[in-house]
Amino acid sequence: MPDRLNDRTIVITGAASGIGAGFARGLAAEGAAVVVADLNLDAAQQVADGITAEGGRALAVRVDVTDRDQVRAGIDRAVAEFGRLDAYFNNAGVNKPEKFLDITKDAWDLIMNVNAFSVVIGTQEAAQQFLRQGGGGKIVNTASIAGRTGFPSFAPYSASKAAVISLTQAAARSLAADRITVNAFAPGVVATPLWTKLDKDLVDIGEGDSGFDSMAGGILLGRAADPEDLVGTAVFLASRDSDYITGQVIPIEGGMILV
Ligand code: NAD
């Protein structure tokens, strides 16, 4: 059995679905104890049960990433169950498309809160735990190609992911003295339930032509990603192999926007 993460405890937010669920399975398969943190506890429990059925170590916790008390409680549960925290994946995210001239404050607030301010909270609370353990530790943020180039049908989402990139750099500079690294990866188009809803919402606002199929059509490697395509990078960013890397954003987009 692979064991690159044997002695590691890793919290992954938004891990009940899509990319986060793929990470929970992939990191657990490398020996990590994983905490499947999500708003949707039932779905998180299913992911955790699947991992334990395969002989892995997993715990499901209900966490709203916009609520500091819940984030802190999730980390406390991880430490109570597995003894320490080694890496924290700020992965939960949402999208809600609107044409640029129709952008609403409600959508802006929701997206910036869930996608960007949650990264502030998650990084602060994980770092406090790392400091209680004497320093060291890894933060891994889910950015997006949308943080590198603005997409017209979902500008607040693009802005929130640009914020994730800036926060990755700022936190890396803030926390380096305590040997805490902060990195991000930027996926392109990944086949997950997020896209099922996004495609429907795009049709509802008359932007059906800019959905999954059209976005995936321009990818050099000829297909959209599955969450499994991202797991190798997640394992790398959670393992000692990446100890000398901080403040970086790794694109995983099959050759798409190339920036
Ligand atoms: P998904 O919808 O399959 O999963 C997102 C999960 O986040 C869900 O389980 C949901 O319950 C959870 N969540 C939502 N709000 C939450 C909150 N407030 N607190 C805790 N959990 C919450 O989506 P996905 O495609 O797996 O996306 C995961 C991350 O990857 C997101 O940050 C997304 O922006 C990013 N991303 C996705 C793609 C893609 O093409 N799918 C591309 C680039 C980046």
Which is catalytic among the residues 23, 88, 130, 157?
157
Entry pTM: 0.98
How many Å lie between the centroid of ligand 1 and the Cα of residue 22?
12
Kindly report, residue by residue over 155-212, the tens digit of the pLDDT. Answer: 999 999 999 999 999 999 999 999 999 999 999 999 999 999 999 999 999 999 999 9
Q: Which domain holds residue 73?
A: 9-252
172 in a structural domain: yes
What pLDDT shows up at residue 2? 83
Instruction: Measure the CA–CA gap between 159 and 247, rounded to whole angstroms.
Output: 19
User: Is position 258 within any domain?
Assistant: no
Dist. CA 182–CA 180, nearest whole Å: 7
Task: Show the ligand 1 pocket: residues with CB < 6 angstroms.
Answer: 13-14, 16-20, 38-40, 63-66, 91-94, 114, 142, 144, 187, 189-190, 192-195
Q: Which of 13, 109, 192 to mutate to test the pocket of ligand 1 (most atoms within 8 A of CB)?
A: 192
Q: Verify whether residue 244 is a known catalytic residue.
A: no
Q: Is the pLDDT of residue 1 over 90?
A: no
Structural domain total, the chain: 1
* Residue-wise DSSP of the chain: ---TTTT-EEEEETTTSHHHHHHHHHHHHTT-EEEEEES-HHHHHHHHHHHHHTT-EEEEEE--TT-HHHHHHHHHHHHHHHS---EEEE---------GGG--HHHHHHHIIIIIIHHHHHHHHHHHHHHHTTS-EEEEEE--GGGTS--GGGHHHHHHHHHHHHHHHHHHHHHGGGTEEEEEEEE--B-SHHHHHHHHHHHHTT-GGGSHHHHHHT-TTSS-B-THHHHHHHHHHHSGGGTT--S-EEEESSSSS--
Residue 68 lies in a domain: yes
pLDDT tens readout for residues 84-96: 999 999 999 999 9
Instruction: Give 37-65 pLDDT, tens digit per residue.
Output: 999 999 999 999 999 999 999 999 999 99
Residue with tokens 């910036």: 112
Q: How far does the centroid of ligand 1 lie from the alpha carbon of residue 15, in Å?
A: 8
Q: Do residues 133 and 85 lie in contact, with contact meaning Cβ atoms separated by under 8 Å? A: yes
Average pLDDT over residues 71-95: 98
The pLDDT value recorded for residue 68 is 98
Give 30 Cα–ligand 1 centroid separation in angstroms.
23
Structure tokens at 39: 């708003």
* 3 within domain boundaries: no
Asked whether residue 141 is domain-assigned, the answer is yes
Query: Closest by alpha carbon to 182, among 153, 142, 131?
Result: 142
pLDDT attached to residue 242: 98
Residue 98 covered by a domain: yes
- Residue 68 maps to which CATH number? 3.40.50.720
For the chain, give the percent of residues with pLDDT over 90. 98
Can you tell me the mean pLDDT for 111-132?
Answer: 98
160, 37, 40, 73: CA torsion to nearest 10: -100
